[in-house]
Amino acid sequence: MYVLDSYLPAVIFCFITMLCWGSWANTQKLASKEWRFELFYWDYTLGVVLLSLIFAWTLGSLGSAGRGFIEDIGQADSNNIISALIGGAIFNIANILLVAAIAIAGMAVAFPVGIGLALVIGVVVNYVATPLGDPVLLFIGVGLVAVAIILDAAAYKKLPTEGKGVSTKGLVLSVLCGILMGFFYRFVAASMSTDFVNLEAGKLSPYTAVFFFSLGVFFSTFIFMIPLMKKPFIGEPVALSAYFKGGLKLHSIGVLGGIIWCIGMSFSIIASGQAGFAISYGLGQGATMVAAFWGVFIWKEFKDAPLGTNKLITMMFICFIIGLALIIVARLN
């Protein structure tokens, strides 16, 4: 299978993760005018599974390092498979809660609370389990990224359509999302060998781990989404039969969203072999700033913002860039 042999390519992979995790929601934005999120999400999960299979049969089966995909499945301990599946299920409910929180409370509450909490919890949990890198630089960097997310929230609250009061339901959903999102990565990491070249017996390769993670996402969607469609957090109930009324374009957009997100997940897991799980996860969760970039420069979400908003946005990006730099340097010490 394909593995990274140095830290620099791992950092590049983490940046790709950040871009993918911060960009996949654009596909949902494109489909939202004609397509409920609950319907979009089914195609999204299909895209996640599809990409994990493509990578497993290509990057995960070529080269001399580690084990091939089929061989790896054959020797895998059931506890490690279950751990990856649980990671997928935890991520899935966290992701669904995040989108529901955005719909109820807006970006200004959902992203800073949800993803900010996930970033801090995820880095701490993964660093305690696998302590790689200078902890001082790592946690200062994480702190600056968290500050950037808070500044992002402050900027969004200045928008005319935002800041109309904080929904208690939206805040609760955001907190639950952040807690769950902070733990899903550890379950996937725990299922894997820490040495990607000489894989431990019973442990999963990164490609096999992502595959079982994707199955956890897909199958848990039936558990979480069907009840949510009958009693959504916001809006009218939507019938499952409505999914089959969508055209090829709408379904393709959803699948593309899942593919983009899973490229990010796969690259994060592959990079963890050199970067460590804490740094790999921490850099990936900088995706909030990528999403902010889309909002500022592409979707022009701040064109009607009052004076002073641009200063917050500038400070946000400065904190974000410095924070990322410290996270990267932490592994060099």
Provide the CA 58 distance to its chain's centre, in angstroms.
Answer: 23
Where exactly are the structural domains of the chain?
7-330
Cα separation of 93 and 255, whole Å?
18
String of b and e for 219-237 (b: at least 16 CB within 10 Å)?
ebbeebbeebbeebeeeee
Q: Where are the alpha helices (DSSP H) in 191-286?
A: 206-230, 248-275, 277-284
What letter would DSSP give residue 6? S
Neighbours of 308 (CB within 10 A): 10
CB contact at 8 A, 287 and 18: yes
The whole model's pTM is what?
0.90
B/e letters for 22-59, b = 16+ CB within 10 Å, e = fewer, are bbbbbbbebbeeebbbbbbbbbbbbbbbebbbebbeeb
pLDDT for the residue 163 = 47
- Distance between CA atoms of 273 and 11, rounded to whole angstroms? 11
Using CA atoms, how far apart are residues 330 and 28, in angstroms rounded to an integer?
35
Low-confidence spans in the chain with pLDDT less than 50: 162-163
> What was the pLDDT predicted at 37?
85
**CA torsion, ordered 173, 175, 179, 184, to nearest 10 deg:** 40
- Residue 331's nearest CA partner among 146, 116, 131 is 131
